[in-house]
Amino acid sequence: MRALLQRVDRASVRVNDEIVAQIEHGLLVFLACSKGDHVGLVKRMAERIGRYRVFPDSTGRSNLSVFEVKGSILLVPQFTLAADTKKGNRPSFDPAMPPKQAEELVGLVGDSLMEMDIPVQTGVFQAKMLVELVNHGPATYLLEVT
């Protein structure tokens, strides 16, 4: 399971010219599930996302989590993060989990984050989404759990 975190001042998702999810200060999280990922990884990924210290403290060091800064999360399913890009000029999506299974795991990650008292908005699974963001930093982090 891979998550790409971006520290944002704001982010939103549009589907068919309609805003379906938006947050202010927090994290935009693109999440991908690969074949072999399972429910046992959900809590671990949610805890890593929710506790990952990427926000500055009073000294400017990245010592605070999205929970600690009272931020929100915009969780966007993105199967392309599961692509195999090791060779050639075209990604292979063979490693990606089938959509129905991935949708369940992504939903469970969102539920686990909400159980941690972190507000979560979500993108629409398998939709053509327009994602807009203001990346603060810029700051982007790749997390993987296996």
> What confidence tens digit (pLDDT) does each residue in 14-46 have?
999 999 999 999 999 999 999 999 999 999 999
Query: Of 30, 55, 79, 122, which is the active-site residue?
Result: 79
* Residue 79 annotated in active site: yes
Query: Of 80, 85, 126, 140, which is the active-site residue?
Result: 80
- Residue 132 pLDDT: 97
Residue 136 is part of which domain span?
Answer: 2-144
* Residue 140 annotated in active site: no
Report the predicted TM-score, pTM, of the whole model to 2 decimal places: 0.95
Contacts by 17-25 with C-beta closer than 8 Å and gap 24+? 20/123, 20/124, 20/129, 21/74, 21/121, 21/122, 21/123, 22/74, 22/121, 23/71, 23/72, 23/73, 23/74, 23/119, 23/121, 24/72, 25/69, 25/71, 25/72
- Residue 138's domain is classified under what CATH number? 3.50.80.10
Q: Could you give the number of structural domains in the chain?
A: 1
Query: Of 6, 78, 121, 122, which is the active-site residue?
Result: 78
Q: Residue 75 in contact with residue 119, Cβ under 8 Å?
A: no
